[in-house]
Structure 1
Amino acid sequence: MLQQLTFRQLKNALEETQHLPRTLYSEATSSDNWRRIREDVNYSEFWRALEKQAAELIESPVRSPLFTEFTLFGDTGNRAVFQTQRDHLYAGIHAFSMLAMTEDKQEWKSGLDNAIWNVCNEYTWVLPAHVGLYHNDYPNGIWDQPVPPRETVDLLSGMTAFTLAETVYLLKERLHPWVVHRVKEEIDKRIFQVYFNNPTPQNWELKTNNWPAVCSASIGATAIYMIEDSEKLAGMLWRVIGVLRNYFSGFDEQGATPEGPAYWQFGFSYFVYFAELLKERTHGQISLLSEEKVERIAQFPQFCMLTGGKVVNFSDSPDEVTLNTGLIQRLKQYVPSLQLPNEEYHLKPVPGNWLDSTRLMLWSSSQTESLASTGSDERVQEQIFTGNQWVISKVRDSRGGTTAFAAKGGHNEEPHNHNDLGHFIIHVDGQNILADLGLGLYTKQYFQPSYRYEMINAGSHGHSVPIIDGCRQGFGKSYRSEIVYSQISEDNVQIVMDLTKAYACLSLEGLTREFIWKRPINETPQLIITDKAIFTNRPESFQEVFISSVQPQETGSGRLQMNSVTLVYDPEQWELEIEHIFVDSQYKTGAPFYRIVLNRTQVEREIISEFRFEMSEMA
């Protein structure tokens, strides 16, 4: 319905239902639902942590971030100091609102009044890392100016407005009326006037990543809660829906996003939250989740889930992702074929996020057994996502173990991009053995291409791709791959990528990488990679790089064993180097990886390289 919806349909639906009795976020208005999740043993630890946090906030109120903490990002690129202090300040909204929904205690009501008042006192709800998004040279040319840049709406300001609007809607009678009035004033000033009263597009409206989903959905949800006039609301929501259509265009026809499963959840969940509120506001006349493409998008993380909590984590994604079971169960109402993940992939509710945690608990079934995975009887689950050029193949053995292969192409200016065309992952026994380093440490420098692609997380030298005559892959949309052949047969998955345009190498005339993933029944899988490079002149060097999460052991000439995966290569053609590297990310510090570098001993104008990755029997 998202693509076919007209403004007239939207306006009519809002007007026709304006005076009808309605309830928004109906699950949260039921005292029985709150009693259920408060007494659910699965959430006992969460509620204990919430009460402890509330007691600490009452005993020791949190100060606002300092000005020098706010400007630290501009001075050094560090964003963690401010964001940590900001999270402490905002924690009271989430903690006291959830507790107040379950029990009418004066200290929780007072705590919530104070928490909301403190947030309304903030200079801006926009993170320092996102200040100045309108500026052409962002993030440069902002922090050294005599006056601050104009206000914008970013992820956190949109989510803050959404949270406050929902909290006021549900707890209005328990809040001080001045606090309620203040919330309405601040949302109008910081969100509605900034977004709707100025025709200049927001920086994120032109993107197709998670930003347009989170920002526009949050603004739209806030408007549904705050705006009574149906005609005015229709105009506001029409702009929001236009942005969401653009967001949907970032998914290929098979539902894949180049941002991977972690950012899939972040962006798509907010679209779902907004869609369900709009459905309630229009008494079911507008159901955006009935869109045909929703089914394919909703199924994407199922392909990315492997075993042991691991996922296919190309781009800026951690290698372990948990999913909101409330979100998945709500999507199952529209996509019955959707499978619930195993326990190891279940997201736990966290005290610091009202929007996600309440929906996780309130949208999840009250029947514990229904949260168990339905599993799959299929021996093979696989897909070639031709639009975004991902291939994922998972093979189950007779004992239920999973071996998986994934590879990617695309272009090198994707959302949360890494220069990684032709890169791949092999997953065996709960480990991504041939691995992706994942996201780096989020600083100002990490999001500036001149620094980002020198960092091993994002640069092609930190991925399992060749280095051609000393050249790494370049950054930009012009650096791209093409799928020249792909086939899924009974025993094999075969895909050939042309990687010539991934490199700005003057002597390179052509480069292809062929993957043959052999997975015959009753045999252990193996992967064969063949690279063919043609040069106009004989290159000075040619290197193949493979990234491993476990220490390689030489078990023979031309054989490197990495737990249950063995790399086989021709030792006459290659000299081996192994680098032990430690990688910092947003989630881990000093994670160990191994960079396997094979240097071609003899380079010619035409080089053909073949590598075989053999899987041993799974235990």
Structure 2
Amino acid sequence: MISFHQLREAILAVQERPTTLIGGAWTPAKRKELLEAPHLAGLIEEMYEEAERARREPVPLLSFADFQAFHSSGTRKEFEKPYFERRGRLLALALTMALDNSDTYKMTLENLIWEICNEYAWAVPAHLPDTIEKVLTARVPPNRYVDLFAAETAHALAEVLYLVGNRLNDWVTIRVKQEIEHRVFQPVFESAHHFIWTSKTNNWSAVCSGAVGMAALLLIDDQERLAGMQDRVVSAMESFLAGYGNDGCCPEGLGYWRYGFGYFVYWVEMLYEFTNGTIDLLNQDKIKRIAEFPAAVSLSDSSCINYSDCRPTFRPATGLISRLCRRLGIAPPKMTCVPSFHEDHCYRWPFTFRNMMWTETQWLHAPGADGTFYFASTDWLVDKRETSKGLLAFSAKGGHNNEPHNHNDLGHFIIHIAGDTLLADLGMGVYTREYFGKERYDHLHASSGGHSVPIINGEQQAAGEAYRAIVTRNEMDHGSVRFELDLTHAYRPEARIHLFHRSFEWKVCQEEASARLTLTDHFVFNEGTVESERSITEHFISFHKPDISGGEVTWLGEKGNVVLRFEPLELSAHVETVEIPSRDTHPLTVYRLYLHAGQLAQTYTCRLVLSCCCIH
């Protein structure tokens, strides 16, 4: 990415720390511009409300019982809810104080910062060793373990000092610097040992290194030391970028693109500002392709193609996207407004603050990308067509079943009609110890039973890199897409399948605002199996309840529908209603359509036609 020689020379050439490191210069004119910006009015109002609530209410308690909940029961919400509420208050109080240029919330902010400095560990329990024995033999104690949130806390506190530190009590500012030094800088940068995340090829390497790298740029005066610190960040970022194919696809999904690549960009831009433009790591072909990923997988309103642990709904980080459009000359995904203050339940500092500083209204309400997109690194196919009545979109995936934040979902597909994803991906489950343990595929979100793929002879798909899809056909021609997969090796030998091919033929008629998907599954069962042992059950997953009438199944959205036609003499149909846990207060209701065929010949082909149309 860049040699240490170049990095050191550029950092040593800096005469004085720039005033633009936080996304731009913080001046009276900038404050006035932000306060008067119509597109920021809702965000700033929410921020003021949260600051006022923080002034009235005590700092949320982080008790030992909450800390112990993950280790005793495997649940995270007991500790993480008050932990992240503290970070939300930090964000609201500091930015309100900076915008107001008054000391109304000064004491409240100082007390909150003091309490954050009092926390036993900035890392959350889910990321700490799970037994006392492991704690005692770990390289660093819990209060010096740097995970995603310890790194984010250090960065947030560093930007608070950069913004309003000269107005806080000296005891507070000096303690913040000492805590960051002891808890984060020393364990990350002063040891010959590296944290495991420095070699990860997922979001961890970018978030952790980007956050601590920015904190160092904001706080460290020793330029020789700073150069060495940034060199370690560069090394971790190289690991992060290695997790992306040259086509720019994020296998973790769009939510983790915003998270991991977001921290990469926040750090890259701060380094760019710090070195007065000498070091520009954003201007690379691969980075541009990664930056273009959201435009390919974003759908209408707040929906997206959401494979892996990605929510079905997605709000683009308008500041991040605006900066990428400005710097790289790319087209934005469809964006309508700046995200809410509460959009990110972790209240990450740069997500909200860069949305304030970087969002440019010219990129809001721009038309979304249209056409066919194929990502060879992950075997994701996406086809999106705008019509006079709304968007028609289809996506299917291959890959393997050991991807980052993996779901067993080979051959799964999504259909989106005019604002509604009628054949859906469930996205992320509730993050618990079991969800990231050996029980992961007992959860509907991650199992193939929670995806629109078949059960073969009672067997679901298996987890592991050996279980994979092979793309056998991928053709695009004038509004028509043909995508075929060999899914034979997605299943264990217990499925007793000699061959399983799935083909998709997606054809759109934009003039009529309609489309048709022909789904063909071809099975050849093992020799030696008998007719009574051979069966398949096709699954179709939706958040919309389907209606079965004769040989038709209809999923109805607000502005469109999907109608599946099948042969009732060949396939029996029924719908299962499943309630699954969610990160929100109420469980999610999922509808799983079963189409079952039993006592099959050794060779069997299931051909289904799904007609899709936009309606007023």
Q: Same fold (TM over 0.5)?
A: yes
Match of 2:173 in 1: 180
Residue 278 of structure 1: CA displacement? 0.2
Say which of 378, 382, 385 aligns to 1:388. Answer: 378
- Larger CA deviation: 538-547 vs 346-355: 346-355
Distance change in 2, residues 1:20/1:201 (3 Å)? closer
Distance change in 2, residues 1:535/1:559 (3 Å)? same
Residue 122 of structure 1: CA displacement? 0.7
What aligned pairs does 1:170-249 form with structure 2 within 5 A after superposition? 170-249=163-242
Q: TM-score, normalised by structure 1?
A: 0.92
Gaps of at least 5 residues in structure 1 are 133-140
Residue 371 of structure 1: CA displacement? 4.3
Are residue 462 (structure 1) and residue 450 (structure 2) matched? Answer: yes
Say which of 353, 357, 361 aligns to 2:352. Answer: 357
Residue 393 of structure 1: CA displacement? 0.3
C-alpha contact (below 8 Å) 2:308/2:407 kept by paired residues: yes
Q: What's the secondary structure of 1:478's corresponding residue? A: strand
In the TM superposition, what whole-angstrom CA distance separates every residue of 1:283-316 from its partner, at most 9, and x where no partner exists? Answer: 1011111121122111111122212422111111
Are residue 311 (structure 1) and residue 304 (structure 2) matched? Answer: yes
In the TM superposition, what whole-angstrom CA distance separates every residue of 1:143-173 from its partner, at most 9, and x where no partner exists? Answer: 6768585332111111100011111122221
Match of 1:64 in 2: 61
Are residue 483 (structure 1) and residue 480 (structure 2) matched? Answer: no
Say which of 274, 280, 292 aligns to 1:287. Answer: 280
Match of 2:319 in 1: 326
Residue 525 of structure 1: CA displacement? 1.3
Distance 1:146 1:224 in 2: 31
In the TM superposition, what whole-angstrom CA distance separates every residue of 1:463-511 from its partner, at most 9, and x where no partner exists? Answer: 1001111111111112111212211111311111111221112422222
What aligned pairs does 1:247-258 form with structure 2 within 5 A after superposition? 247-258=240-251
Match of 2:403 in 1: 414
Say which of 260, 265, 268 aligns to 1:267. Answer: 260
C-alpha contact (below 8 Å) 1:325/1:340 kept by paired residues: no
Match of 2:486 in 1: 498
C-alpha contact (below 8 Å) 1:437/1:583 kept by paired residues: no
Distance 2:54 2:419 in 1: 40
Match of 1:137 in 2: none
Residue 562 of structure 2 aligns with an amino acid whose one-letter code is V
Residue 463 of structure 2 aligns with an amino acid whose one-letter code is F
Residue 414 of structure 2 aligns with an amino acid whose one-letter code is I
C-alpha contact (below 8 Å) 1:573/1:602 kept by paired residues: no
Match of 2:615 in 1: 618
Distance 2:197 2:318 in 1: 28
Distance change in 2, residues 1:18/1:64 (3 Å)? farther
C-alpha contact (below 8 Å) 1:485/1:496 kept by paired residues: yes
Match of 1:531 in 2: 521
C-alpha contact (below 8 Å) 2:417/2:614 kept by paired residues: no
Q: What's the secondary structure of 1:394's corresponding residue? A: strand
What aligned pairs does 1:100-179 form with structure 2 within 5 A after superposition? 100-132=97-129, 141-142=130-131, 147=136, 149=138, 150-151=141-142, 152-179=145-172
In the TM superposition, what whole-angstrom CA distance separates every residue of 1:410-445 from its partner, at most 9, and x where no partner exists? Answer: 111211111111100111121111111221112111
Match of 1:24 in 2: 21
Say which of 563, 566, 570 aligns to 1:566. Answer: 563
Residue 401 of structure 2 aligns with an amino acid whose one-letter code is N
Gaps of at least 5 residues in structure 2 are none
- Larger CA deviation: 77-86 vs 504-513: 504-513
Q: What's the secondary structure of 2:411's corresponding residue? A: coil
Distance 1:575 1:400 in 2: 34
Match of 1:138 in 2: none
Are residue 443 (structure 1) and residue 440 (structure 2) matched? Answer: no
C-alpha contact (below 8 Å) 1:97/1:112 kept by paired residues: yes
In the TM superposition, what whole-angstrom CA distance separates every residue of 1:288-345 from its partner, at most 9, and x where no partner exists? Answer: 11121122111111122212422111111111100111111111122223225231x6
Q: TM-score, normalised by structure 2?
A: 0.92
Count how many residue pairs are aligned between Structure 1 and Structure 2.
Answer: 599
In the TM superposition, what whole-angstrom CA distance separates every residue of 1:9-68 from its partner, at most 9, and x where no partner exists? Answer: 111111122458664225252221122212334433443433333333333321530111
Alignment RMSD (CA, Å): 2.2
Residue 185 of structure 1 aligns with an amino acid whose one-letter code is Q
Q: What's the secondary structure of 2:61's corresponding residue? A: coil
Distance 2:602 2:193 in 1: 52
Residue 231 of structure 2 aligns with an amino acid whose one-letter code is W
In the TM superposition, what whole-angstrom CA distance separates every residue of 1:500-543 from its partner, at most 9, and x where no partner exists? Answer: 22111242222211111112453521111111222223244222
Q: What's the secondary structure of 2:328's corresponding residue? A: coil
Distance 1:155 1:89 in 2: 16
C-alpha contact (below 8 Å) 1:308/1:431 kept by paired residues: no
Distance 2:47 2:477 in 1: 52
Distance change in 2, residues 1:49/1:268 (3 Å)? same
Distance change in 2, residues 1:618/1:505 (3 Å)? farther
Distance change in 2, residues 1:103/1:606 (3 Å)? same
C-alpha contact (below 8 Å) 1:340/1:372 kept by paired residues: no
Residue 579 of structure 1: CA displacement? 0.7
Identity %: 34
Say which of 422, 440, 444 aligns to 1:433. Answer: 422
Distance 1:474 1:239 in 2: 38
Q: What's the secondary structure of 1:253's corresponding residue? A: coil
Distance 2:365 2:48 in 1: 31
What aligned pairs does 1:574-589 form with structure 2 within 5 A after superposition? 574-587=571-584, 589=586
C-alpha contact (below 8 Å) 1:302/1:339 kept by paired residues: yes
In the TM superposition, what whole-angstrom CA distance separates every residue of 1:173-223 from its partner, at most 9, and x where no partner exists? Answer: 111122111111111111112112233332322322221111110011111
Are residue 518 (structure 1) and residue 511 (structure 2) matched? Answer: no
Residue 469 of structure 1 aligns with an amino acid whose one-letter code is N
C-alpha contact (below 8 Å) 1:18/1:230 kept by paired residues: no
Residue 473 of structure 1 aligns with an amino acid whose one-letter code is Q
C-alpha contact (below 8 Å) 1:445/1:452 kept by paired residues: yes
Residue 562 of structure 1: CA displacement? 1.5
Q: What's the secondary structure of 1:550's corresponding residue? A: coil
C-alpha contact (below 8 Å) 1:541/1:600 kept by paired residues: yes
Distance 1:103 1:503 in 2: 60
Distance 1:336 1:258 in 2: 24
Distance change in 2, residues 1:387/1:7 (3 Å)? same
- Larger CA deviation: 332-341 vs 185-194: 332-341
Q: What's the secondary structure of 2:79's corresponding residue? A: helix
Match of 1:401 in 2: 390
C-alpha contact (below 8 Å) 1:497/1:512 kept by paired residues: yes
Residue 390 of structure 2 aligns with an amino acid whose one-letter code is G
- Larger CA deviation: 320-329 vs 600-609: 600-609
C-alpha contact (below 8 Å) 2:389/2:418 kept by paired residues: no
Distance 1:373 1:229 in 2: 45
Residue 618 of structure 1: CA displacement? 3.0
In the TM superposition, what whole-angstrom CA distance separates every residue of 1:532-586 from its partner, at most 9, and x where no partner exists? Answer: 2222232442221111222222233x22121221111222321222111222222
Say which of 337, 340, 349 aligns to 1:348. Answer: 340
Distance 1:53 1:511 in 2: 54
Distance change in 2, residues 1:145/1:20 (3 Å)? closer
